[in-house]
Structure 1
């Protein structure tokens, strides 16, 4: 009898799933450790609904859970401490955990808001095997004060299921893990969940905690056993939506093993291809690659000085040393700097910062150096500066330029600079003084309303409008346009011979008009509730040239108003 070939376990794909179910609240506890022993939750808002986003152990002991309405939680626990959920900071913490997980494998990917996927193929033996690696994961998370649920299997879907549903709830925190008994709430149909808390009390409370090592072994599926370990788990472990879980539960199908035994054609017709895809991914029939996020681009150069410096000329000499290698890093990645920060560390121990912005991305030192020189008067060297560091923290893709030599370079250097280059340099120099955000340009807008014919945009982050973009106007517009201001004059459509505006009296010398403009009837603009306007160009005897209009009245009473000045 021939012996069947042995499976090459060394080449078997192995996936580690890490789930941090209390990531939001434990991020808060890192800054406020005194709240660890009292009920604490983070709250998220969706419209007018405020619900729990994350809970700690004391809050869960009182029956609070994620997704619960805040007013209901306050009724159960009047002393509940709440903090707002901050997805941005939680994402930053998860990114830090992704870097930490890189110690186990270089293939680490984020999955959702609070979980990681790690491809352990060929890496577990470096830590003494999967069980030792599993114990190391829990020990590290315990030291960090984080609860973690982990699972190892042949596929990402099976590891995900083990981390969340196998062997209990699995909230590992500082040396202990809760196991799951047959009455776990998230294993039941929705209609019975409201009675689950009472049934647990009748049976003697929650399941006893087990040691971490025992729970770790329960969550490691041996190679080739994905079907066996998935079979007793609830349908939700397949990563399908709640509607599919509820529909299968109505048919009496509550475990994955119940679904695996059914014909695929009938399942696909009734519940769609998503269920079949998730089953195949969990069993390894359909591939599910793990795509790790690339390391963020970082462009920085540091220069440590043997002796402290304090003169502007010395700082400029230091810039001549560190700007060229910074630009080489930018060119190597096809990037151009938009904002660059210069950090000057003083011997007293503090650091001064100078930041510049550019109207166009640049990767040449001669574009950056003049802008830093304009701001050197802000530097206070104190007892001396012993370190310079320059960081391009905002970059953009920059198309590579063709390298030329000889006659082509001579022609380019002799060619006059274009208007766009001169404007970009002017905006950068001006922005170094007043800030790039303060420099704006107008972009034409599609509206006949005078105050809506243009939209102000940041000049540094926009291109100038090409010739012919502005629509031709049959009527001139004032140089200065301001919100309508009331004018004291007779309430008649005829141009007044005398009127009073801004506390001054004027006598009309000449008037040109009218130009009738109607409001945008599809919008309820408060400024145009006075109805149709007749605009006049009025020249007064003392030389003022004003843009006046007469409003015929609508939802509000009309009259004469001034809206612009032609001088």
Structure 2
């Protein structure tokens, strides 16, 4: 069986080069992509020109502008970058069916048994470099027996002062992947070559099968994917290279630096398996609409939403699917995007039930300088089961009535949920317990069914409002007082019903029920308040009167 071979592709300038691809010829100055941390904006991606100016990742925007006054900046669009990575994942499928997006800017391919189709491992890296030149992307590649080793070679295989060969290995480096110019097939008939517009395959490092340890030995310990604190502690002890760690006792490393260091080292050397798990193919239900002229009025956006909502629901209906969560994305002319989401209490493929929820969210959208494209996506869908009615006419009418009433309630829950959130809407179901706090269980209304059976009789006698027991100033005797003081007020008893004795659950230790057996009274006060009082006979706590609820 051939050795397992893993190819790691890292795109260090993905965010900036994605924008350069979209706006070719616009960025004739250094470009920086910014990330908003809440307190300031920091750089998360740089173009090659910006790197030459001395700018670094994580640098605050103010410092960067002081170093490079002519710097061009753009805010990061996370969803667009994720979509671009999915495109690159499909592109990488030409080299191997096992492709996984390991990070936000990196891909991992299991190329075991497929390199001969491209002329060997050097041919694979050469083809990857040519493709990335055409795509105007900078890529750094590493090929090794393990995922950890390939990751390390892609990111640290070309650091200054790091040897590219170890031992008798003379084929580790693949010079063919250092392509820095566009392919010539576009200008072979004469004329001048087109200018280079970005995109380089800077490094392609190959570790010969079985020589992983020697290939990783000269690399820094950061190539093991360690935390920053662990790297700093290793540096203080003089352990700066991976080769310095391979000869150390494992027990001592684990005892001092934790099991994470030993795990990463074993994964890189192949002692611990680290498979490549390709993402399953995704099924997207989305409709996009490009506008000839930018729009900004709420009525125009609502009209555009109506045009894309119908086709989306029709597509879902063909697949027997229903919308549960739908997302509206609006793309503005300044290359930024804003999105809103709405959830439904019950999955549906009826656009009339989704349209009012989306209209309620349009007020949250800022059109900016104008919207030139909309995208409506079904984020979460559920299977819709066909309802079959059979029997007499009365049974059919009852079923239709029950169905229409259920839809009305679900639409109401969806409308309220669009304002306050579906998680804030709850309903109660009876529970099998005689303890007042446990007679009902609270469920989310959007993800539960209404209780259709008869409620237990004991539950109906409970007050509408329940709270933690509050002390009542009254004589500590089990006889209901005529006058008592509660919440700083003197109240007189006009009517009372009871007592109802409730004992604690002896098999559970409830802190609130350490007062022992309780005698509950339904008390109507002279001022009209209806309270739920009880006398605690005392157990681990002292006896006395308490108030726990109020009737409607």
One fold, TM greater than 0.5?
yes
Instruction: Give the stretch that moved more between structures: 428-437 or 169-178.
Output: 169-178
Equivalent of 1:438, from 400, 424, 435?
424
> 1:551–1:560: 8 Å Cα contact kept in structure 2?
yes
> 1:335–1:396: 8 Å Cα contact kept in structure 2?
yes
Match of 2:301 in 1: 315
| Deviation (angstroms), 1:487 | 0.8
Equivalent of 2:358, from 355, 372, 378?
372
Match of 1:357 in 2: 343
Using the alignment, how far apart are the partners of 1:374 and 1:134 within structure 2?
51
> 1:344–1:388: 8 Å Cα contact kept in structure 2?
yes
Match of 2:528 in 1: 543
Equivalent of 2:117, from 99, 104, 125?
125
Match of 2:156 in 1: 173
Match of 1:150 in 2: 143
Q: Does 1:386 align with 2:375?
A: no
Distance change (3 Å), C-alpha of 1:334 and 1:415: closer
Secondary structure of the residue that 2:545 maps to in structure 1?
Answer: strand
| Deviation (angstroms), 1:312 | 4.5
Match of 2:409 in 1: 423
Distance change (3 Å), C-alpha of 1:474 and 1:324: closer
| Deviation (angstroms), 1:503 | 1.9
| Deviation (angstroms), 1:322 | 0.8
Secondary structure of the residue that 1:505 maps to in structure 2?
Answer: strand
Q: What stretches of structure 1 of length at least 5 have no aligned partner? A: 1-11, 34-91, 152-158, 183-206, 222-228, 234-277, 283-288
| Deviation (angstroms), 1:315 | 3.0
Using the alignment, how far apart are the partners of 1:398 and 1:101 within structure 2?
31
> 2:92–2:99: 8 Å Cα contact kept in structure 1?
no
Using the alignment, how far apart are the partners of 1:372 and 1:171 within structure 2?
45
Q: Please give the per-residue CA displacement for 1:368-417, whole angstroms capped at 9, x wherever unaligned.
A: 11222344455565665433322222x1321354899xxx9xx99x9445
> 1:148–1:173: 8 Å Cα contact kept in structure 2?
no
Using the alignment, how far apart are the partners of 1:365 and 1:112 within structure 2?
37
Match of 1:193 in 2: none
Using the alignment, how far apart are the partners of 2:175 and 2:523 within structure 1?
89
Match of 1:341 in 2: 327
Equivalent of 1:510, from 490, 495, 518?
495
Q: Does 1:107 align with 2:97?
A: yes
Q: Does 1:302 align with 2:302?
A: no
Using the alignment, how far apart are the partners of 2:488 and 2:460 within structure 1?
29
| Deviation (angstroms), 1:351 | 5.0
Match of 1:324 in 2: 310
Using the alignment, how far apart are the partners of 2:339 and 2:352 within structure 1?
20
| Deviation (angstroms), 1:366 | 2.0
| Deviation (angstroms), 1:291 | 7.2
Distance change (3 Å), C-alpha of 1:175 and 1:348: closer
> 2:174–2:204: 8 Å Cα contact kept in structure 1?
yes
Q: How does 1:365-514 map to 2 (within 5 A)?
A: 365-377=351-363, 385-393=371-379, 395-399=380-384, 401=386, 415-416=400-401, 418=403, 419-468=405-454, 470-473=455-458, 476-514=461-499
Q: What stretches of structure 2 of length at least 5 have no aligned partner? A: 13-34, 36-41, 47-81, 177-202, 215-269
> 2:173–2:205: 8 Å Cα contact kept in structure 1?
no
> 1:101–1:118: 8 Å Cα contact kept in structure 2?
no
Q: How does 1:8-407 map to 2 (within 5 A)?
A: 16-18=5-7, 31=44, 99=89, 102-110=92-100, 116=108, 118-119=110-111, 121=113, 124-126=116-118, 128-134=119-125, 150-151=143-144, 159-160=145-146, 173-175=156-158, 211=173, 219=207, 292-331=278-317, 334-345=320-331, 351=337, 353-377=339-363, 385-393=371-379, 395-399=380-384, 401=386
Provide TM-score, normalisation by structure 1. Answer: 0.56
Secondary structure of the residue that 1:473 maps to in structure 2?
Answer: helix
| Deviation (angstroms), 1:365 | 1.9
Using the alignment, how far apart are the partners of 1:447 and 1:316 within structure 2?
50
Distance change (3 Å), C-alpha of 1:543 and 1:364: closer
Distance change (3 Å), C-alpha of 1:331 and 1:532: same
| Deviation (angstroms), 1:549 | 0.8
Distance change (3 Å), C-alpha of 1:321 and 1:490: same
**How many residues end up aligned between the 2 structures?**
408
Q: Please give the per-residue CA displacement for 1:190-231, whole angstroms capped at 9, x wherever unaligned.
A: xxxxxxxxxxxxxxxxx999756699897455xxxxxxx69x
Secondary structure of the residue that 1:389 maps to in structure 2?
Answer: strand
> 2:143–2:206: 8 Å Cα contact kept in structure 1?
no
Match of 1:519 in 2: 504
Using the alignment, how far apart are the partners of 1:129 and 1:539 within structure 2?
90
> 1:178–1:210: 8 Å Cα contact kept in structure 2?
no
Using the alignment, how far apart are the partners of 2:300 and 2:88 within structure 1?
41
Secondary structure of the residue that 2:470 maps to in structure 1?
Answer: strand
Q: Does 1:552 align with 2:537?
A: yes
Using the alignment, how far apart are the partners of 1:482 and 1:101 within structure 2?
60
